Structure 1
Amino acid sequence: MSTRNVMLILMLATGIGGPLLLGQAPLAWTPLDNGTTTLPPVTTGENVPTVNIRKPTGGTPNPNTGQYSYSFIRSWGGGNNTPPPTITIGPTNANSPYAFRILFGGAFSLGAAGTQTLTMTVTDFSTPPATLSVVLTMEVLPGFGITSPPVSTLTARNGYVFGPLQVAAVGGTAPYTFWLTGNDWVTLGIELVGDTLVSNGPIDAIEGEYYSECTLRVTDALNQTTYRTYTVFVVPPMSMRPPVQHHGGSGHGAYHPPIGDWIEGVALEPIVFSWDYSEPGPMTFTLSGEPSGLMLDTATATLTGVLLTGTPTIGSAGQYTIVVRAVDSIGQVAERTLQLLIRARLSITTTAFPIVAIGENIATPITVVDGVPPYTFSASGLPRGISIAPVTGVVSGTVLEMPQSNIVISVTDSFHIPQTATMTVEFPIELMVVDSTLRAPQAVVDAPYSHAFAAMGGKNPYTWTLSGLPLGMTFDPATGTISGTPIETGYFTVRIDLVDYSTLAPQTFTTLAALNVSESGIVPPVIVSAHLPAATEGARYSSTISVTGGQPAYRFDVSGLPQGMDGSDGVIAGVPAAGSAGSYLVRIVVTDGVGQSTSAILRLVVSSADSTHPPQPGDTSPTRTALPNLVGGAAACSLVHGRASAAGVVVLLAIAIGIALWCVVRSFVAPCAFAWREASTQSVFDGRECGRHPREGGDPETTQRLDSRLRGNDVTLKRDATKTRAFSYVREGL
């Protein structure tokens, strides 16, 4: 056995603290029984024995316990990061001369050979406290053992050469002889060349992770033998895992996409590309095949992963095959291919509704492309009577008024981060002259006169053109007003042409108005009511026909009403029968007390009792458009009479009968004057054909030409070829 050296290092700090009390000994400490500060030497690998530490003397102990306060600073541990033994302070008996025991509880490893120290400090309870420090030393002698490789776990990489790794030993008597035992070294292809461990080629016989227990032995010159067992961890080649995407978002959407399913213009929730078994050191990354706006976040990359981030630019929608590639510090390559679908952003393709008339039913779907269905629709600014279905996006109902502004349509998709698209859509109302303004009041010859025509629908400002006025009267195209002093009498058919301000497809409207200029100033009756309120099947209905002018009392002849309704007393009333839903043209003829007559055709819409909206366009059920009775003969020729004697009345009656007979004969032997109304807008046109339809052929959707010989004017009706319109024609006295 080697000679053991014993060292004594005593560090005694005296005079530290306050002045001593009379008769009080200074603080002193001889901690070991041998009167020194040197612990017995130990050999690496041997357990360190327990050491008893004696109590200090002098100073001022704790008056309650008689103990002092201690602290420790240990400097040992050893070389090559070998952990030192664990020190545990054990108590002693109160009557014992020892203050405490040091339980080391372990052995020094080979790398800890040398001098180790432990500094102990004692503090008493005087004022101020006195302290004393003692340094214990221990000589750790080297034992015979293997010191290199220093760690017990060795790492080998499959596909790569292992080593070279130096082996070394300490203690014993040099020279040393090393050798390997066990078949695992052979299995791995690792051999000992001199004092170096190295593989005879790339390690390729192992798949996946592999752990092997391998033994290294050494013999010194005196044939002393020792060994050390190592765990060899075989690491597979670097490989990349399937990518992972953590979905956040608001959580309101119904569709949570798979990895690689995204929308252009929306920040990508990062996709994580990670790998295993990379060699520590610098990494390089490449990305190929990506859409514009996506990139690898190399700033936050680690040895085990990198993020794919960014926002796909607008217009980048499409299918992509992207490749993420990572290379570690020894050149290992790992890559992963991902199919990436970038969807186009949700958008609304409907830009305008078809032209509709007030009182008309519509059912127009809002068309949407891209995004993720199903969609949720909403709208603002819809006119009264119109609504949008939240699920289907169909805008439907009966148009009851002009819209106050453009319609704003919104649609939200079901992506897990919901996308919303909006579109401002025009809701064009069919251009027309308001019915009530066509009933121009009676004019009197040589008397000032003024009447303004009003229009609705289309887009302001309007362009008015008017012809057929009596002499002495003019027309203001900016305001649609006729004015002046007529100098001739008679019935005048005034043609009105109206064009709106729509820039893409201007609407046009042509109609006729009757103007009566009399000598006597007796005003014939005029029907003031411009429209009839809507009715509902099975619900009681009442609407009074408003009339001005003429001589009371009035007599009413109303035809074309649905079953269950009557209007002979001037009040259209009743309960529309079940199944009568539809659109009706109601003919109203009013005769005053002196035989003057006037007529009008008004629309009545009857809604179904089991629906919030009237029948929609495209319904298979027929539309009930009632054609009123024809009014011809004497009633077709409105007469204006003044007051007269009985004889005068007889003469006027004879004249009236003659005119009536003339109209009847004319209806068979010559073209008779009549007017026709388009069924939806109530627009009045004049024609001079009897015995055949006033159209010259073609469809009601295309341009219609009416042969009008009144005042030598030709009347042309133009309809949008994309609209399907129904026409009804009735005779009406002008």
Structure 2
Amino acid sequence: PTIISGAQSICAGTTAKLSVTPVTGTTVSYFDSPISATVLNPDGGDFTTPALSSNTTYYLQVNKLINGVLCSNPTRTPITITVNPAIVFNGSTLTNASISFPYNQQLPLATGGTPGFTYALASGSTLPAGLSLSSSGLITGTPTAAGDPTFSVVATDTKNCSATATFNFAVTPALALAGAVLPDGITGTLYPTRTIPAATGGTGPLTYSAVSLPPGLTFNPTTREITGTPTQPGNYIIPVTVTDANGYSITSNYTLKVTDPLSLPAASLANGTNGLVYPTQTIPSAIGGTMPYSYAATGLPTGLTFNPATREISGTPTQSGTFPIPVTVTDSTGKTATTTYSITVIDPLTLPPATLADGNENVNYPVQTIPAAIGGVGPYTYTATN
């Protein structure tokens, strides 16, 4: 017979078709051993093997009907099917991707087969938008949509044998770290504990770190809390970085201002005289806190006023006495400080008139006492002139 499809190489797990064209008047039979009596093609036609995983030999026997008797050639012709090495290609769960971050993931490589593999998506499979698969099995790109894709990949060796594996991974929302307003701190004063917002997106667990905090403050990466007692005033920019389980990271900057304590320095104010214009006095400017400041004063003597814009006390007092004057400064964050100043208003210095006794020549003069001064500020000193 003429062998149309006989000895051949096939891929592991596939079938082979054995086919011949018999000589006129003959038929052929296939067997799985030289002596087997079991005909594999009872109908006398072509024979398709089962899926094979190793080299297998079949045997071809020629038959002829002679005088009504079926005679078989006692010599069977071996036909060997060579099975190429099996390809081992296993699916798995890949490292997660994140929107807006470049992704670079090598698929687990196929083994076995005949090395020199190429990789391609199986028919009907797609990757998330923004990603692509190279012939070497490398997934690259920047995903643009979240999801949990499952896809199949075909690995093909140099003998055109192939194996298919299924993979999956998650595309998470983009890693994000929201901004926040941190309250001002005061040197030497315990800072009110503040927690940096929790990040969103990415693949947990997330880790946090912070740098450039004001001296005296610390950042707890577990609780995301800023705590401590600042020791140095200034405006601080604190970069906080969050990193997810796949190594993707982003950084957000937070601003923290540290000021010295708000205070209003002490000062001595000039005394005033009842009924006379008071020499204008200026309350010292506040220090520390956060500008701009606003000022208010109470308890001034009647006739005097306080200008909150210039911090000046002016006017003409009409009431004598010693007056405590609390002045309060308020900064732009609402913090306040109060210092009490004092003004003494005296009556005008006067020497009351008096009529002195007449004297006589060469006669001892009767002692006369000038009236005591009133007003002013004692002690007094007295002088007399002609």
* TM-score category of the 2 structures, normalised to the smaller one: 0.5 to 0.7
Deviations 1:657-695 (A, max 9, x none): xxxxxxxxxxxxxxxxxxxxxxxxxxxxxxxxxxxxxxx
In structure 1, give the amino acid aligned to 2:56.
S
Residue of 243, 247, 257 corresponding to 2:91: 243
Match of 2:238 in 1: 408
Q: Does 1:396 align with 2:241?
A: no
Match of 1:15 in 2: none
Following superposition, the deviation at residue 408 of structure 1 comes to 1.4
CA distance in 1, matches of 2:152, 2:260: 62
Q: What is the root-mean-square deviation of aligned Cα atoms in Å?
A: 5.1
Q: Does 1:323 align with 2:167?
A: no
**Contact 1:154–1:230 (CA<8 Å) still a contact in 2?**
no
CA distance in 1, matches of 2:121, 2:197: 50
Deviations 1:257-288 (A, max 9, x none): x62434443333335388899xx9x9963225
Following superposition, the deviation at residue 444 of structure 1 comes to 3.5
Following superposition, the deviation at residue 378 of structure 1 comes to 2.8
Match runs of 1:261-410 below 5 Å: 261-272=96-107, 285-287=123-125, 291-295=128-132, 297=133, 300-301=134-135, 308-313=139-144, 316=146, 320-324=148-152, 337-349=166-178, 351-362=180-191, 363-369=193-199, 371-373=203-205, 375=207, 377-380=209-212, 382-389=213-220, 393-402=224-233, 404-410=234-240
**Contact 1:386–1:399 (CA<8 Å) still a contact in 2?**
yes
In structure 2, give the amino acid aligned to 1:358.
T
Match of 1:214 in 2: 58
Match runs of 1:518-533 below 5 Å: 518=344
Following superposition, the deviation at residue 322 of structure 1 comes to 1.6
CA distance in 2, matches of 1:233, 1:188: 21
**Structure with more helix by fraction:** 1
CA distance in 2, matches of 1:210, 1:187: 21
Following superposition, the deviation at residue 425 of structure 1 comes to 1.9
Judged with a 3 Å threshold, the aligned counterparts in structure 2 of structure 1 residues 429 and 155 are, in CA distance, closer, same or farther, namely: closer
Following superposition, the deviation at residue 515 of structure 1 comes to 3.0
In structure 2, give the amino acid aligned to 1:420.
S
Following superposition, the deviation at residue 212 of structure 1 comes to 1.7
Residue of 312, 318, 343 corresponding to 1:483: 312
Residue of 634, 644, 664 corresponding to 2:379: 644
Judged with a 3 Å threshold, the aligned counterparts in structure 2 of structure 1 residues 283 and 420 are, in CA distance, closer, same or farther, namely: closer
Match runs of 1:172-191 below 5 Å: 179-180=28-29, 182-183=31-32, 189=40
**Contact 1:444–1:486 (CA<8 Å) still a contact in 2?**
no
CA distance in 2, matches of 1:391, 1:365: 11
CA distance in 2, matches of 1:645, 1:399: 55
Judged with a 3 Å threshold, the aligned counterparts in structure 2 of structure 1 residues 409 and 283 are, in CA distance, closer, same or farther, namely: closer
Judged with a 3 Å threshold, the aligned counterparts in structure 2 of structure 1 residues 447 and 188 are, in CA distance, closer, same or farther, namely: farther
Judged with a 3 Å threshold, the aligned counterparts in structure 2 of structure 1 residues 396 and 451 are, in CA distance, closer, same or farther, namely: same
**Contact 2:180–2:197 (CA<8 Å) still a contact in 1?**
no
CA distance in 2, matches of 1:426, 1:190: 85
TM-score normalised by structure 1 residue count: 0.35
CA distance in 1, matches of 2:254, 2:39: 76
CA distance in 2, matches of 1:352, 1:188: 87
**Contact 1:492–1:516 (CA<8 Å) still a contact in 2?**
yes
Match of 1:230 in 2: 79
**Contact 1:262–1:268 (CA<8 Å) still a contact in 2?**
yes
Judged with a 3 Å threshold, the aligned counterparts in structure 2 of structure 1 residues 454 and 232 are, in CA distance, closer, same or farther, namely: same
**Contact 1:156–1:232 (CA<8 Å) still a contact in 2?**
no
Unaligned runs of 5+ in 2: 64-72, 273-277, 347-375, 382-386
Q: Does 1 or 2 have the higher relative contact order (CA < 8 Å, sep 6+)? A: 2
Following superposition, the deviation at residue 210 of structure 1 comes to 3.8
In structure 2, give the amino acid aligned to 1:232.
I
Residue of 271, 288, 297 corresponding to 1:456: 288
Deviations 1:622-667 (A, max 9, x none): xxxxxxxxxxxxxxxxxxx955279xxxxxxxxxxxxxxxxxxxxx
SS in 2 for 1:405: strand
Residue of 421, 437, 444 corresponding to 2:271: 444
**Contact 1:211–1:233 (CA<8 Å) still a contact in 2?**
yes
Deviations 1:312-340 (A, max 9, x none): 33x72x6x252337699xxx998655442
Judged with a 3 Å threshold, the aligned counterparts in structure 2 of structure 1 residues 472 and 405 are, in CA distance, closer, same or farther, namely: same
SS in 2 for 1:369: coil
Match runs of 1:87-98 below 5 Å: none
**Contact 1:451–1:482 (CA<8 Å) still a contact in 2?**
yes
TM-score normalised by structure 2 residue count: 0.60
In structure 1, give the amino acid aligned to 2:57.
E
Following superposition, the deviation at residue 360 of structure 1 comes to 1.7
**Contact 1:348–1:367 (CA<8 Å) still a contact in 2?**
yes
Unaligned runs of 5+ in 1: 1-145, 169-173, 245-257, 501-506, 521-640, 647-734
Judged with a 3 Å threshold, the aligned counterparts in structure 2 of structure 1 residues 419 and 187 are, in CA distance, closer, same or farther, namely: farther
